[in-house]
Amino acid sequence: MLKRQARMVAAAVYAADLTVAAASFPLAHVLYRLFDPPPPFGTLHALDRYLWLLLFIVPVWAILLRTGGLYRSYRTSTLGREIWRLVRVSVLGGVVLFAFLALTKSGYISRPFLAAYVLIDGAIRVLLHVALRGLARVARWRGYNVRTVLIVGTGEKARALARRIVRNQRWGLRFLGYVAEEGAPGGLKPPEDGHRLLGSAGDLPRILCEEVVDEVLVTVDRNRIGDMEAIFLHCEQVGVNARLAADFFPHLIAKVELDDLDGVPLLTFTTTPRDAWGLALKRGIDIAASALFLLLFSWLYALVALMVRASSPGPVLFRQERVGRNGRRFTFYKFRSMVADAEARRADVEHLNEMDGPVFKAADDPRITPTGRWLRKFSLDELPQMWNVLRGDMSLVGPRPPIPSEVEHYEPWQRRRLSMRPGLTCLWQVSGRNDVDFRQWMELDLQYIDHWSLGLDAWILLRTIPAVLFGRGAR
């Protein structure tokens, strides 16, 4: 019941946010005309000449808002974190909007007007969410939408959870008291924190009849979970939500989530991003961007191919087996930047290796051709990997794909970098590339995985452009 209400509230807020996205457009037009900025801010045409843009803006904003983590319960999320997510949506939306205009070459559309729209839209949405939070807090202060919580268990884990509920009144939870599990050490001795002990687990049917209870939180040791079956069955029978505190195993990084496999509940420990909408959008961007790049820059591929062919005998493309997500093998493509027999001569240059760990990097590798050195400096040798991105072997952004012999020497914690689809560019790529040692490289990849978002991908792509243009960190 309460979960359905939460979904209804989230859907209403989502609809309000989309309404703001649409309504802010004519409002921005009115305000822009009111202030009538002088040149060089450009001429503002009638509103009807711009309205077609809403057919692009509203779907884009709908995706960004849906994947931005904005519609979780106000009970446990902070205002600062929500404002940051709202700002991130506005910035990313503005980047996508201006990129779209650049591709469509819509020169008559005033860019300052659109910048004003993005600012006004973002400001109104922030004010809306702040107001909704304020209303929710006032409602809870007046006793509306407050959930009464009963905790099964009297151990330290139960008391710690009770302290968090009492301390965070903004969650809208009211702690009723404890119920001791059957055979608990200390029996029915009242807890030291002074809260009520309403009885033992056998008394739960009576307690649920006599008290107002919205939620039952079960916090017992994992070896006693079987004893809690009667509690869950009774809560199910009377329609009271029962939750299990599932901190059974120590975990430093993994997020714990509940999944479902054909009706079988699964407790999932995952270290990879779980934003299905965001990951789907990431893949959609990969497909669209790689296909467009291959189409628009086919002339550049032909030019580089001619340069490679003229520089030294051998094939134009270098093919190599690489390791992708979770150990999948795939064929990796580059423009050849070394002599044709470079792999056979690897042992002759091992002494030149400047990178620690299992990776080989040498600034003065004699196998690199003069043309290849120039291609590497500006990352032009990586262009064929757009085909890998289109195929789904790689993504635009992600940890760089290693070769199998490198993976064989990984420490267990380093293998976690294989848990996401490899990419053309990554944090390592924009942090000096080969100027970073192997351990730092691995840590940067894990940092990317742990903090992944579409905004982080956009930031890395923007940082990659100057790194490529100026050849920073390349060898």
Summarize pLDDT for 137-169 with one digit per residue, the tens. Answer: 777 666 666 789 999 988 888 888 899 888 877
Closest by CA to 237, choosing from 261, 258, 263, 216, is: 216
Cα–Cα distance measured from residue 160 to residue 156, given in angstroms and rounded to the nearest whole number: 6
- The gap from C-alpha 3 to its chain's centroid, in whole angstroms, comes to 24
Average pLDDT over residues 468-472: 73
348-390 per-position pLDDT tens digit: 888 888 778 888 887 788 899 999 999 988 889 999 999 999 9
Closest by CA to 277, choosing from 70, 136, 17, 27, is: 70
430 or 332: which carries more pLDDT confidence?
A: 332
Peptide bond into 185 cis (omega under 30): no
Burial 4-17 (b: 16+ CB within 10 A, else e): eeeeebeeebeeeb
Structural domains of the chain, with CATH: 2-141 (no CATH), 147-248 (3.40.50.720), 276-469 (no CATH)
Task: Judge contact between 180 and 196, C-beta under 8 A.
Answer: no
Cα–Cα distance measured from residue 334 to residue 395, given in angstroms and rounded to the nearest whole number: 15
How sure is the predictor about 184, in pLDDT bands with cuts at 50, 70 and 90? low
Taking the model in full, what pTM does it have?
0.67
- The gap from C-alpha 27 to its chain's centroid, in whole angstroms, comes to 32
- Cβ atoms within 10 A of the Cβ of 227, count? 14
Give the relative orientation of helices 454-469 and 276-296 as an angle to the nearest 10 degrees: 30
Cα–Cα distance measured from residue 215 to residue 49, given in angstroms and rounded to the nearest whole number: 54
Average pLDDT over residues 291-304: 94
The pLDDT of residue 2 is 47
Cα–Cα distance measured from residue 149 to residue 17, given in angstroms and rounded to the nearest whole number: 32
Low-confidence winner among 16-20, 121-125, 307-311, 355-359 (lowest mean pLDDT): 355-359
What would the two tokens of residue 347 be? 């042992």
- Residue 166 DSSP SS3: helix
Helices and strands of the chain, counted as H and E runs: 14, 11
Q: Residue 253 has what DSSP assignment? A: S
Name the average pLDDT for the chain: 84
CA distance to 196, 393, 463, per residue, from 466 (Å): 63, 25, 6
The pLDDT of residue 128 is 93
